Chains A and B, each alone.
Chain A
């Protein structure tokens, strides 16, 4: 095996999961919850990645991303919307004169099983349409067969193409099988130039989990320690409740520190999560739960 980065770091599954479980038991109440909800909203990549996505659907999503709840001016916008490459232009137009960024999946999302030329063309098209951020996938088949060089080179090539454009590298942790692999893929991606490492596509059975996010936070912490440079984390897939979002904030806070609690360094890829955050926010303000139909769905 070619030594591309520091030797593999091993993790112990039992203790990693125990630590993640204990972090999930943090009790987030009152002011902490209010701050956490607003922070989570600011960190959302509001996502639609379905075969039936259309310009109309994306425009609706963008309206919600910009103003999650019309009439409530203190509710922040989300960080970005995340769409397929051919809808980037629509999103870009819908979000003009707003701070909300447009992220595009690329590199033969979600499997990543295409030639590098196709992946680069896919990425280039998204960038040409105005994408501010690229969410690429790694080739899990290559990784699991031991071809770390291929994984590394593809990430490095995409990053070269992206230049200053924010590159998020999806590891698809649910397909990697072990925490050792998740850690190894994290280290490879960071060394190859990922600005953000991201858990999942949302397209396989297992999405982001607390222990996998914790393992990735440890990689980010060690990378920062080694290089002095802070890189980001994105958790995605299956995150629907405020409670889940709060636990991810806790994991980041207690593993990486408060400096990472910003949309520059932490993102949550989600769609319906925003609705629950808005409901919980209203509950904190009024003491009552709003009916689900008071929250705009898009």
Chain B
């Protein structure tokens, strides 16, 4: 008798990946200056996926000029309802090509197909649909008597953890408000941004309204420094965010930053423990922990610490790590070798500082970048693993005794992007949520997103909001 073990269930669709990709500037595909390129790989196999154009400052200049021309010539002039039509068209195209885009996202970034299929791609489409609706209703987003005005050319730099979704978060509100865009996707995950450029082209947007420049940090720096950019939006590390803020100080450029986090996930003894454990697992192991709002610091009431740790230990043993294209994979590949090394370094520091490492028993594939679901117990506030963003599937477990202490420990971080609270007592939930200095506080749930709900941080997690009415403000003048 055979046992009931899940057989491989790989996603069968294979997206078309071109051998080489150019830069998308002024509505057309062009080679980069001096024909420079770089390679993008599949982090699960380390296989080469495509050669991608590398944008130099010369290319940035071309793209910004194209965006300026498109802004002056078409985009600020067309009727808002027509802007909406283009955005609806993009949203529909994402929906129609969702399966292909999901596979592409998983291949290039390493995330499990179930996440790109059920979260990244539908949420990207939803963001375009939502902002399409706003395009001709912006008078209701500004204060009475004011007229909504666009800002101009937006330079937008997005990270590798949710490549298409972060591009959607940036592009959709910018276009809805009448701005034009130069988007710079992350070096390790350019492919879905390039697929989005194809969609933009097929949707017949006026040339130059959306430009996509692939490259690395130097490309981003050139975009930041370019005098023709009116507004910058950056999602990524706090370190780079600070550099950007310094670079543009005094230039008059507008800026929004969505940076790192070290979110507290607070579990009280009276919480529904099984569901809290599910929330904690989702909070830290979703997308291998490559999530700026990941609930990476678990604060548990001391009296349920052992119980929670036992349940978590049991639960992470059931997480399935492996081929990201397998529909049953829960933990996919770490996005890059550099990120894997960063995770490993921080985990070593945790052990050296005296914390106890608990890892899911699993075999890692022979190739590619993988790291097992992990948690640290005996962690103290002074440990690096309790303070620094690991950006990997590593949870630090700390304890508290009273609600006051929970709030104090939760806020004892330079970051302030998100937090979670689990308790069956509504009054306690609200009391704690009011006192947490974090842009998003999830009560008895975690990682809930909606285009209508603003997202953004306090303190070193950045400023400005994305999504909802608040997100629109960042793309309107005045």
Using a CB–CB cutoff of 8 Å, the interface residues on chain A facing chain B are 9-12, 14-16, 18-19, 22, 25-36, 38-39, 218, 249, 253-254, 258, 261
A32-B4, A36-B4 known; A10+B444 contact, CB < 8 A: no
3 smallest CB-CB distances across A and B, nearest first, come from: A15-B275, A27-B9, A12-B275
Assembly CA distance A30 to B270 (angstroms):
43
Residues of B within 8 A of A15 (CB): 272, 275-276, 278-279, 444-445
**Does B1 belong to the interface (CB within 8 Å)?**
yes
- A–B pairs, 25, beta carbons within 8 Å: A11-B272, A11-B275, A14-B445, A15-B278, A15-B444, A15-B445, A16-B275, A22-B114, A25-B114, A25-B118, A25-B327, A26-B327, A27-B6, A27-B327, A28-B6, A29-B7, A29-B8, A29-B9, A31-B2, A31-B7, A32-B7, A35-B4, A35-B5, A253-B4, A258-B3
In contact, B444 and A33 (Cβ under 8 angstroms)? no
Cβ-neighbour of B444 out of A14, A22, A28, A218 (below 8 A): A14
**Taking the complex as formed, is B61 at the interface, i.e. its CB lies under 8 A from any CB of chain A?**
no
- Most A-side CB within 10 Å, residue of B273, B274, B276, B318: B274
In the bound complex, how far is the Cα of B272 from the Cα of A253, in angstroms? Answer: 22
Interface size on B, as a range, is 20 to 34
Cβ of A39: which chain B residues have Cβ within 8 Å of it?
4
The answer to whether the Cβ of B98 comes within 8 Å of any Cβ in the partner chain is: no
Q: By the criterion CB–CB under 8 Å, are B5 and A38 in contact?
A: no
CB contacts (< 8 Å) of B276 on chain A: these are 12, 15
Contact A19 B278 (CB under 8 A): yes
A30, B2: Cα distance in complex, Å: 12
B contact residues around A31 at 8 Å (CB): 2, 5, 7
In the assembled complex, B328 has its CB within 8 A of some CB on chain A: yes
B353 within 8 A of A: no
CB <8 Å contact, A26 and B444: no
Residue numbers in B under 8 Å from A32 (CB-CB): 4-7
Shortest CB–CB separation between residue A82 and chain B, in angstroms? Answer: 23
Give the CA-CA distance A249 to B6 in the complex, in Å.
11
Cβ distance B476 to chain A, nearest Cβ, rounded Å = 35
Known: A10-B270, A29-B7, A32-B5. 11 other contacts (CB 8 A): A11-B272, A22-B114, A25-B118, A26-B327, A27-B9, A30-B8, A31-B7, A36-B4, A38-B1, A39-B4, A249-B4
A residues in contact with B1, CB < 8 Å? 35, 38
A18 to B2, CA, bound (A): 30
Q: Is B424 an interface residue (CB 8 A)?
A: yes
A200 CB to closest chain B CB, in angstroms? 22
| Docked CA distance A265–B275 (Å) | 24
Cross-chain contact of B274 among A11, A34, A38, A261 (Cβ < 8 A) = A11
- Chain B residues near A249 (CB-CB < 8 A): 4
- Cβ of A274 to closest chain B Cβ, rounded Å: 18
Q: In whole angstroms, how far apart are the Cα atoms of A104 and B4 in the complex? A: 29
How far does the alpha carbon of A15 sit from the alpha carbon of B6 in the complex, in Å? 24
List chain B residues, Cβ under 8 A from A16: 274-275
Would A30 and B7 be within 8 Å (CB), given that A18-B278, A19-B278, A254-B318 are in contact?
yes
A35 touching B3, Cβ below 8 Å: yes
Name the residue on B nearest A253 (C-beta): B4
- The distance from the CB of B304 to the nearest CB of chain A, in whole angstroms, is 13
Measured CA separation A22–B115 after assembly (Å): 11
Contact indicator A258/B274 (Cβ below 8 Å)? no
| CB closest chain-A residue, reference B117 | A25
- Judge whether B424 and A10 touch: CB under 8 Å: yes
Give the nearest-CB partner of A214 in chain B: B274
Complex formed: what's the CA distance from A19 to B272 in Å?
A: 14
The reply to whether B4 and A258 contact each other, CB–CB distance below 8 Å, is yes
Find chain A residues with CB under 8 A from B9 CB.
27-29
Name the B residues within 8 Å of A27 (CB-CB): 6, 9, 327-328
> Are A35 and B2 in contact (CB-based, < 8 A)?
yes
Q: How far is the CB of A167 from chain B (nearest CB, A)?
A: 26
For B286-317 the 0/1 string (1 means CB < 8 A from A) is 00000000000000000000000000000000
Task: With CB as the reference atom, state the residue of chain B lying closest to A25.
Answer: B114
Q: Per a CB cutoff under 8 Å, which of B4, B114, B272 touches A12?
A: B272
Q: Whole-angstrom distance from the CB of A287 to the nearest CB of chain B? A: 16
Please name all residues of chain B whose beta carbon is closer than 8 Å to the beta carbon of A36 when the two chains form the complex: 4
Q: How far is the CB of B274 from chain A (nearest CB, A)?
A: 5
Q: Which B residues lie within 8 Å of A25 (CB)? A: 114, 118, 327
CB neighbours (8 Å) of B424 from chain A are 10
Please measure, in the bound complex, the distance between the C-alpha atom of A39 and the C-alpha atom of B276, giving whole angstroms: 32
Chain A contacts of B8 at CB under 8 A? 29-30
Instruction: Report B362 CB to chain A, min CB distance, Å.
Output: 15
Q: Which residues of A contact B114 (CB under 8 A)?
A: 22, 25
Interchain CA distance A218-B315 in the complex, whole Å: 12
Give the CA-CA distance A87 to B114 in the complex, in Å. Answer: 48
With A10-B272, A11-B274 in contact, is A26–B4 under 8 Å at CB?
Answer: no
Closest to B11 in A: A27
| B3 and A26 contact, CB distance less than 8 A | no
Q: For residue B272, which residues in chain A have a CB less than 8 angstroms away from its CB? A: 9-12, 15
> Residue on A with the closest CB to B327?
A27
State the Cβ distance, A79 to closest chain B Cβ, in Å.
15
CA distance in complex: A238, B424 (Å): 32
Cα separation A33 to B7 with both chains bound (whole Å) = 8
Q: Who on chain B is nearest to A215 by CB?
A: B274
B274 nearest CB neighbor, chain A only:
A218
Query: How many angstroms from the CA of A83 to the CA of B248 in the assembled complex?
Result: 79
Q: How far does the Cβ of B314 sit from chain A's closest Cβ, in whole Å?
A: 9
Contacts A27-B9, A28-B6, A29-B7; A19 near B328 (Cβ below 8 A): no
* Mask: chain B, 212-250; 1 = CB below 8 Å from A; 0 = not: 000000000000000000000000000000000000000
Quick one: closest B residue to A225, CB to CB? Answer: B310
Partner of B4, one of A19, A218, A261: A261
Chain B residue contacts of A19, Cβ below 8 A: 275, 278
Q: How far is the CA of A185 from the CA of B463 in the complex (A)?
A: 49
Question: Could you tell me the distance between the alpha carbons of A65 and B408 in the complex, rounded to whole angstroms?
Answer: 63
CA distance A22 to B8 in the complex (A): 17
Which A residues lie within 8 Å of B3 (CB)?
35, 258, 261
- How many angstroms from the CA of A261 to the CA of B445 in the assembled complex? 31
State whether A12 touches B444 (Cβ < 8 A). yes
Bound together, the chains give a CA A121 to CA B224 distance in angstroms of 84
Minimum CB–CB distance from B398 to chain A (whole Å) comes to 22
For residue B330, give the distance in angstroms from its CB to the closest CB of chain A. 9
A261: chain B residues at CB < 8 Å are 3-4
Docked-complex contact B445 and A26, CB < 8 angstroms? no
Which residue on B lies nearest to A261, using beta carbons? Answer: B4
* Minimum CB–CB distance for A142 against chain B, Å: 25
What chain A residues lie within 8 Å of B327 (beta carbons)? 25-27
Instruction: For the complex, give the distance between the alpha carbons of A12 and B276 in Å.
Output: 8
The complex places the Cα of A41 from the Cα of B345 at a distance, in Å, of 50
